Amino acid sequence: MQRKERYEHLIEYFNEHQPEAETELHYNNPYELLVAVILSAQCTDKRINAITPALFEKFPTAEHLAASHFDEVFPLIKSVSYPNNKSKHLIGMAKMLTEEFDSTVPSDIKDLQKLPGVGRKTANVIASVIYDQPAMAVDTHVFRVSKRLGLVNQNAKTPLEVEKQLVKHIPKEFIPKAHHWLILHGRYTCLARKPKCMDCKISQYCKYFEKNFGTKA
């Protein structure tokens, strides 16, 4: 199967079966999503959703968070990965957001990456989820699944390389959804250690399945 056909089949499948794919992080506004995504680095969405209600109750706006101190933030997020750094990043992000962006989460990828704790992946999540831009955030799930399916070259070594290949082949209108399609597939089916290939609904389009189970794809 040619790569172009693989993309076409997968987009058709996901668009039919997961037309409303979206983030599993809980949020009510751009500020809350930005906080949640910063916290979610190397941590599960389930864990983040468990701690953000109390965090947002105490710091409901960027102004509240900007005026806070480390000792106020840390206890509320101590159960996530790297709570020390993330506490500092959240406060720094909120200060920059209020001082340089009038408390409005920017839509520009470069502006987003100026904020403490915001790398390219986080910036792409905000741009795609909040502003519906054709930005592809590549986390560990997207990186793994896109390679297994055969959507990107196996020699793609970095998230940026994978991102560039994906956005080159996926129509712009589907890129925001495709990010969630790949994440959710990796989270629940195409697991890192033991992928559920026998239960997978898209195995006929998968290079990994073809290689390991001998079925042509």
Q: Which of the following is catalytic: 139, 177, 194, 201?
A: 139
Residue positions forming the annotated binding site: 190, 197, 200, 206
How many CA atoms lie within 13 Å of 216's alpha carbon, on the beta-carbon side?
2
Residue positions forming the annotated binding site for [4Fe-4S] cluster: 190, 197, 200, 206
122 and 46 within one domain: yes
112 and 81 within one domain: yes
CATH of residue 56's domain is: 1.10.340.30
CA dist 89 → 95, 166, 194 (Å): 10, 29, 34
- Asked if 112 and 123 count as a contact pair (C-beta separation under 8 A), the reply is yes
Annotated active-site residue 121? The verdict is yes
pLDDT of residue 154: 86
pLDDT of residue 215: 59
What 3 state SS string does the chain have? CCHHHHHHHHHHHHHHHCCCCCCCCCCCCHHHHHHHHHHCCCCCHHHHHHHHHHHHHHCCCHHHHHCCCHHHHHHHHCCCCCHHHHHHHHHHHHHHHHHHCCCCCCCCHHHHCCCCCCCHHHHHHHHHHCCCCCCCCCCHHHHHHHHHHCCCCCCCCCHHHHHHHHHHHCCHHHHHHHHHHHHHHHHHCCCCCCCCHHHCCCHHHCHHHHHHHCCCC
Task: Indicate if the alpha-carbon torsion angle 163, 179, 103, 60 is positive or negative.
Answer: negative
Annotated active-site residue 139? The verdict is yes
Domain boundary among 129, 159, 177: 129
Q: Which domain holds residue 206?
A: 3-21+136-213
CATH of residue 184's domain is: 1.10.1670.10
Sequence-ordered list of residues with C-beta below 8 angstroms from that of 77, at least 6 positions apart, any chain = 39, 51, 55, 83, 86, 87, 90
Whether residue 217 has pLDDT greater than 50: no
Q: What is the mean pLDDT of the chain?
A: 94
Question: What pLDDT digit, counting tens, does each position of 56-115 carry?
Answer: 999 999 999 999 999 999 999 999 999 999 999 999 999 999 999 999 999 999 999 999
Question: What pLDDT digit, counting tens, does each position of 1-50 carry?
Answer: 888 999 999 999 999 999 888 999 999 999 999 999 999 988 999 999 99
125 and 34 within one domain: yes
Domain count, the chain: 2
Q: Which of the following is catalytic: 86, 95, 121, 147?
A: 121
Write down the pTM of the prediction.
0.90
105 and 150 within one domain: no
Whether residue 216 has pLDDT greater than 60: no
173 and 117 within one domain: no
Mean pLDDT on 172-198: 94
Domain boundary among 129, 151, 185: 129
% of the chain with per-residue pLDDT over 70: 99
pLDDT of residue 21: 87
CA dist 204 → 4, 5, 28, 42, 211 (Å): 15, 12, 38, 31, 12
pLDDT of residue 35: 98
